[in-house]
Structure formats: C-alpha cells, structure tokens
Structure 1
Amino acid sequence: MYGAQQAAGAPVPHAARPGAYPGAGWQQPNQPWGPPPAAARPRRRGLGVLVGSSAAAVIALVALAASILMVATTPREEPRPTGTDLSARYDERLDARPNAVEVDLVDHPLYGASAPEPVDCSTPELDMNSDESWEEFATASGVCLDELWAPTLEGMGLSVEPLEFAVTQDSPDADGAEGYTLAYYESDLARITVVLPNVRHMGAQIPARHREDVWLALMGHEYGHHVQHVTGILTISHDLRWNAGSEEDELDTLRRTELQAECMAGVGLRGITGADEETLEAVNAHFNSGGDLDTHGSAGNRAFWLEQGWSEPTMDGCNTYGAEPGQVT
C-alpha cells in the first residue's frame, strides 16, 4: 500500500411356490372283469417338449446376448482427420519460459516519453462534508487522470484498466506515526482510497478557492503510484526496500518512490487544470508544507518535485531514482 501523507427403496417379494404336475396321485379304479390285454404304456411327452422348448429358448437368448456383446465391445473405427496437419509447423521454442522483463529504475523507457498533453476534463464541485461528494470527486478526478496518462502508457505498449475509487472513515496510520495519511493506493485491488477524517482535518486549513486544486494534486500523487505499478517501477522499488541492507537504504528507496509520485502529481495538476504559477505555489504551500517526513522527503524536496512534474517537457524530469542524494532527502 502506498499513500500520500501529511506531516503531523421397496421390499423384494418372495418367489411363488411351484404347482404340482396335472393329475398327480390319480389311480385307475377297480373293474369287475378281468384285466384287459396288456397295452403299451403311453409315452409322457409333455415334459420333454417343455424341456426341449426351454433349451431352445435359452440357446436363442445366449446367441442374442453374444451378438449384443459383440456389438457393444467391438471398437468403432476412429475418424480419419481431414484437416491440415500442423505438427510439422510446431516450434519447440514455444515450450521455453519467456524471458524476464528487466526494469531499470534509473534508465527506464518512461523517462524518454514526452510529458502528457493537457486534457479538457472537468471535476464536480466538492462538498467537504459529504461522503458521496468526496467519492464522486475522486472518481471524476480518476477519469481525467486516465485520459491524461493513456497516450503515454499506450505509447509504451501498456494497456491499463481503469482504477476503482473509494472513501473510508478508517485511518491506516499506526499510533505515533510521523504524519497522517490522506489517501492510499492498493496495486492488488487497483484502487485508490481517500481517508475522509484526515482530508477534512487538513481541508479546514486550506482556503476554499484552493481546496480542489490541492485534492487534484493528492489524486495525481496516488495515480502516480499506479503509473509506477503498470510500468514495473513499483515492483522493483518494493524489492529493493525488502532486500535493503539497512534502514537508511530502505528509506532512501521509499523517498525516491514517493517523490517520483509527487512529481507525477505535478504532471496531473498541469494536465487537468492548466494551472498557472500562482496555483502551483498555492498547492505547494498547502500540500507540501508542514514539515519533513522520513518516508516522503523534506518539505522543500516535495515542493521541488511537484514543480518538476508541472514544468518539465519530458518524463525524465521525474527520474528521482537517478537524482542526487540531496534531492531525495
């Protein structure tokens, strides 16, 4: 997070019982005359016919099942491809991992770009006491900053999605912090959030005619962090801070990051308002005064870099990573 700070189933049935054969137990009655001549015993054919018929049926069923099994298990012929065989055109180099993109903080392509041209874009009047008005103002400022920076970023081959803007009543500042946060940028959420209690506290000390210019500079600073993110600068800066050998080196990198965002705030201020020197001086007097900050630089250097962004014709004017130590203290 980077921010702008201000000092200070059913049962189965049983099987049916099989019935007895017809005439079972029947006997011939006694007769008064002698027994008739012996006759050949009649053949009992019913059971043999039944058994033979049943056997034939079973054989038929077995044959039917075998034919079904053959049909079911016989594999189908695979369709032959009719299209063009592309395997001969495959390039094994496609299997290789892409080369890492190297970002040089001192000699970055961004610095060779011209400063963004001014845009004709307006913001709504701000009601300091309305949360809705603050969110509307921040969102409109973001739309203008999108329009301002788009040509520069697209010229570098970068496609940038619009940011989300929000307001909060909760301050992210820890107890005993050297200043208070006015707004902050979250790269993982692509969002800028304005801390309402803090901007209202500061706004009460700014003449009404200069407030909206000051808040445009604030939004420009946070949008500067977004520019740093999409160009890869912010990631390298974070890595340098993480791997710093001392607290002094870590703070030096952080100040260069924050002062570059302040320079980009000057770019935004000029590009949206067409500010004259009097307006620039007023914004610096109310936005960058109030004391030095170890994380954001001295008041004099913050003012210097805001003016650099406002006045320089190329983005090389915002190369804080190549600046002398005295300009980033």
Structure 2
Amino acid sequence: MENPPGERTGSEDPPPERTGPWVAPGSAAAPRGLPSAPPPFPGPPPPQGPATGPWPPPYHQGWVPQPGWPPPRPRRSGARNVLFSTAVALTVAGAALAASVVVLVSTPREDPPTGGADLALYYDRNLTGVPEPASVDLVDHPLYSAPMPTGATCELPDLDVDSDASWLEFAEVTGECLDTLWAPVLNGLGLFPEAPEVGVSGSAPGSVPIDPDAYVLGYYEPDPLRITVVLPSVRTVDAGVPPQDRELIWFALMAHEYGHHIQNAAGMFELTHASVGEDSDQEMLRRSELQAECLAGAGMRAITGDEDALRVVNTYLNGGGDLDSHGSAANRSHWFEQGWSQETVDGCNTYDAESSRVS
C-alpha cells in the first residue's frame, strides 16, 4: 500500500493599492514672468517696484485691446506641463513611457564613444530562445559526487516524551542542526533551498493508506515545506526504547525526514513520487525511502560519531518487520549503515542498486 509522500514509518503582505489620482512629481510648472515692455497705448505705464497680489499682476485692470489689434499670443506652459497633460490621458505606466520618449526625442544624440570592447562580439543569439527544461537523472545525479557532511556540532535537548512542548523543542533544534549540517553540501552544488518548517501533530495524515501494521512516526511535505512528527505514534514506539538512547533514536527519525528534504532540493523527490500511484510498482517508493534512510545514517555519523548509535538505531528503529513502502528490516539497516560508512553521497544511490537491495 502507498504512503503519503515522504512519510516515515517504524514498527511580505502585498503592497498597498494606490488610491487617488496619480500626479507626476514636478509636473506643476513654475510661474513665468511677463514681458517687461509696457502695454500698448492707451493706458498708464506699469507700476514700478516689486509685484504684489495675485500672479501675474495686471498692468491695468480696465485695459482692453483696441479693435483691430492682433490677439495676444497664448502663454507657453512649459515642457513639464505638456508631460503632465499626457500623463492625465494615460495610465501610470503609459505616462512614464511617454515621458521617456519625450526626453529621448528632444535630447540631442551624442556621438558614441570610441574605443573599448565591441559588445556585439559577446552577444549569443541562442540566449533569445526559450531554455530547455532541466532534466533530473535519478541514477546519475550530480548529488552523488558530493561529499558526505562532516564536522557538525549539535547539542540535542533532553526529551520528555509526555510533553508536547518538549517534542516540539526537540524537533525544532534537530531541524536547525540538520540545516547547518547539510547546507555546505547543497550549497556546493549550487542549491540553496529554503529550510523546512518543523512541527508536531496529534494524528497522521489519513487520506492515503499505509502499511496496516506500521506506525506513521513522521512525514515530509514539499508543499507546504514541512517536517511533522506524529506524537501518538512516537510515544507508542518510545515505550520500548531505552531512556538513555531516546534522543539518538528520534534524531535518526528527523534525519530520515530531512533526507527527503535533500531529495526535494535536488529535484529527485517530486520525480519519484510523481510515478507512484495506486497501480504503480512500490519499488520506486522503496528506493526513495531507503535513500532517505541512507542519508539519515550520514547525518547520524556527522553529529554523533559514536558507532554505538548505529547499533541502537538499527536495533530499535530499523529492526522488526518488513514494510512494502520502506523495504525489509535487513535493507533498512543496510542502507543506514551505508550512509554511516561511505565518503560520498554515491554510497546512497539506491536508484542504481539491484532490486534485491531495495526489496
């Protein structure tokens, strides 16, 4: 039966909308002075001294042009008023474009500078085409050439299995530790994934059937990006775990789910689970789950460096029965040890393994 993707089992608010009319900055034209010449006869000469009152000051309130005189020429409002008039008739984007065009047309073109590199020599016409979609090869992936993580320090908090808050704290600290541990490996491949959120839940996802005799201990979701620990299940399994080994075992659970996050960052998780449907072969799902178990072994060695942790995890977490979705107990232990002992991620290439090793 099929598991929810990535499940682990065991025995800037949007910007405010602009309101009101848009006014182009600096669109109001500065007042221009009137000609200094006196008005035509008749009428008294213009007043002397600084102008007072409304602008422009009239020369004579009662003066009117004489019959037969040509009408006065209309005042020029200035280039910025022309732009403002254009802006009123257009949208904001159109107004900005119009202003740019006016500037380009009215500005004299300068002679191009001489010397320097000819950029046309570096222009590649192929760049104008639509790029081909990236392809992901599950068997021959660049991830496999990366070194296993090393040298991380992580202080795991004590875990009170009866406290929801303690479980949440443990999961969050472990998640941050795994972020720090795997970042250099992923960054070296040019991958800079967002860190997954970590949480706890009182129930497992019920929309997808799972192995009937298995507990869903935790699961990974690529959207929303999240690792969740299922509290009722881990508490049930924890009843058979030695108290002194509790933190190691549940760190291994988190490391397994984080292994799915690494697969997701490398484009492998979606490709695998897209092929897993109701009628699909469970082998592809087992390859994904066993690879996550292998990556968990690598994380466990980098954090603890204690070979006794390898024995503890394979005894209490990977021991027990076989699972259609996660493989046999023997293969789960094998791949966890592979991750622990290998120097590169190629040691976790379950997609290139024989079927007997992913059964």
1:322 equivalent in alignment to 2:345: no
Residue 282 in 1 paired to residue 312 in 2? yes
238, 246, 249: which one aligns with 1:211? 246
Alpha-carbon spacing, 1:211–1:70, altered in 2? closer, same or farther (3 Å) = closer
- For 1:308, which of 331, 338, 349 is the aligned residue? 338
**1:51-90 maps to which residues of 2 (within 5 A)?**
67=75, 78-80=106-108
3-state SS of the aligned residue for 2:276? helix
**Aligned with 1:153 (options 179, 182, 186):** 186
Q: Which has the larger radius of gyration?
A: 1
Q: Which amino acid aligns with 1:318?
A: C
Per-residue deviation, residues 25-84 of structure 1 (Å, max 9, x unmatched) = xxxxxxxxxxxxxxxxxxxxxxxxxxxx999699999857x5569997798863356697
Identify if the C-alpha distance between structure 1 residues 73 and 169 changes in structure 2 by more than 3 Å, giving closer, same or farther: closer
Is residue 2:150 matched to residue 1:120? Answer: no
Cα distance, 1:192 vs structure 2: 0.9
Q: Deviations over 1:213-271 (max 9, x none)?
A: 111110110000011011111122123335xxx8352x111010001001111111111
Task: Return the match for 1:5 from 4, 9, 24.
Answer: 9
Decide whether the 8 Å contact of 1:122 with 1:272 is kept in 2: no
1:182–1:195 CA contact under 8 A, matched in 2: yes
* Bigger mean CA offset, 167-176 vs 282-291: 167-176
SS where residue 184 of structure 1 aligns? strand
How many Å apart are 1:327 and its aligned residue?
0.8
- Cα distance 1:68–1:141, how it changes in 2: closer, same or farther (>3 A)? same
Give the 5 Å matches for 1:179-190.
179-190=214-225
Aligned residues: 278
Residues 73 and 186 of structure 1, relative CA distance in 2, 3 Å threshold: closer
Q: Where does structure 1 lack aligned partners over 5 or more consecutive residues?
A: 8-52
Asked whether the equivalents of residues 292 and 298 of structure 1 are also in contact (C-alpha less than 8 Å), the reply is yes
TM-score, with normalisation over the residues of structure 2? 0.68
Matches of 1:224 and 1:84, distance apart in 2: 57
311-320 vs 223-232, which moves further: 311-320
**CA-atom RMSD, angstroms?**
3.2
Partner of 2:286: 255
Within 2, Cα distance between the matches of 1:61 and 1:262? 96
Pair 1:271–1:91, CA change in 2 (3 A)? same
The question of whether the paired residues in 2 share the 8 Å contact of 1:118 and 1:274 is answered with no
Task: Give the share of equivalent positions with the same residue, in percent.
Answer: 44
Q: Which residue number corresponds to residue 257 of structure 2?
A: 222
Q: TM-score, normalised by structure 1?
A: 0.74
> 1:173·1:181 contact (CA, 8 Å) conserved in 2?
no
Is 2:297 aligned against 1:266? Answer: yes
Give unmatched runs, 5+ long, in structure 2.
Answer: 12-61, 84-101
